[in-house]
């Protein structure tokens, strides 16, 4: 049975596109049944539309406008997000460039089924701007490698959880910040598709 995926994305959607391409090319026995974005300008929205995938734009602004404190707004937003995702009946939820920390109001609805992609190795550079932090460490301390990981998201810790796969990306001679980002994104696309293929096949 083809695995059903819901993808949460905040940005341009290149990782979403890698999943769509792999599915269409029969390299991945999975179907993206829903794409959720939190930003109106997210490129992932257009990628979903072009592929004929149901797309939902769910901004947090209306939840903040109610006058609740930020923590309460986050929980009510995540509860609404969970309702949208649950309605699509996915087997796995993939955070592919999702830039919002999920709370238990979402995670408890999908225990052991939320997968995150992060452009750093386990224990290195959690949170946003991981590539910038790796580049800074390279230029100031001589760090010779960074990497990419895919992991499960069991709770509200930032970029922590059981690691499904990781891959080292070494700094190349003459590396620039821009060339590093391009190479990391290439590895992200490959690793994410490989992990999802294993999950779809029941390997991990």
Model confidence pLDDT, tens digit, residues 52-111: 999 999 998 876 666 667 888 899 999 999 999 999 999 999 999 999 999 999 999 999
Cβ atoms within 10 A of the Cβ of 11, count? 17
The overall pTM is greater than 0.85: yes
23 lies in which domain range?
3-201
Q: Cβ(131)–Cβ(99) under 8 Å?
A: no
Which one of the listed residues 57, 63, 118, 138 is annotated catalytic? 118
Number of domains comprising the chain: 1
Beta bridge partners of residue 56, listed in sequence order: 36
The CATH number of residue 70's host domain is 3.40.50.170
Q: Cβ(6)–Cβ(93) under 8 Å?
A: yes
Question: Tell me, what's the pLDDT at 202?
Answer: 86
Q: Is 118 part of the annotated catalytic residue set? A: yes
Model confidence pLDDT, tens digit, residues 49-65: 999 999 999 998 876 66
The least confident of 8-22, 34-48, 60-74 is 60-74
Calculate the CA dihedral of residues 172, 177, 183, 186 and round it to 10 degrees. Answer: 170
């Amino acid at each position: 049975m083809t695995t059903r995926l819901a993808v949460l994305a905040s940005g341009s959607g290149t990782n979403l596109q890698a999943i769509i391409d792999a599915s269409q090319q029969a390299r991945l026995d999975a179907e993206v049944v829903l794409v959720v974005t939190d930003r109106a300008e997210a490129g992932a929205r257009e990628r979903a539309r072009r592929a004929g995938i149901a797309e939902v734009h769910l901004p947090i602004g209306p939840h903040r406008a109610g006058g609740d404190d930020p923590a309460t707004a986050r929980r009510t937003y995540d509860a609404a997000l969970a309702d949208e995702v649950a309605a699509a009946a996915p087997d796995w939820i993939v955070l592919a460039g999702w830039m919002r920390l999920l709370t238990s109001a979402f995670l408890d609805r999908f225990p052991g089924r939320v997968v995150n992609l992060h452009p750093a190795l386990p224990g290195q550079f959690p949170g946003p701007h991981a590539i910038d932090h790796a580049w800074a460490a390279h230029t100031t301390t001589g760090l010779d490698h960074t990497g990419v990981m895919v992991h499960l998201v069991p709770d509200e810790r930032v970029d922590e959880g059981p690691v499904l796969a990781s891959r080292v990306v070494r700094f190349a001679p003459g590396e620039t910040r821009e060339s590093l980002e391009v190479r990391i994104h290439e590895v992200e696309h490959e690793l994410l598709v490989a992990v999802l293929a294993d999950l779809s096949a029941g390997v991990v």
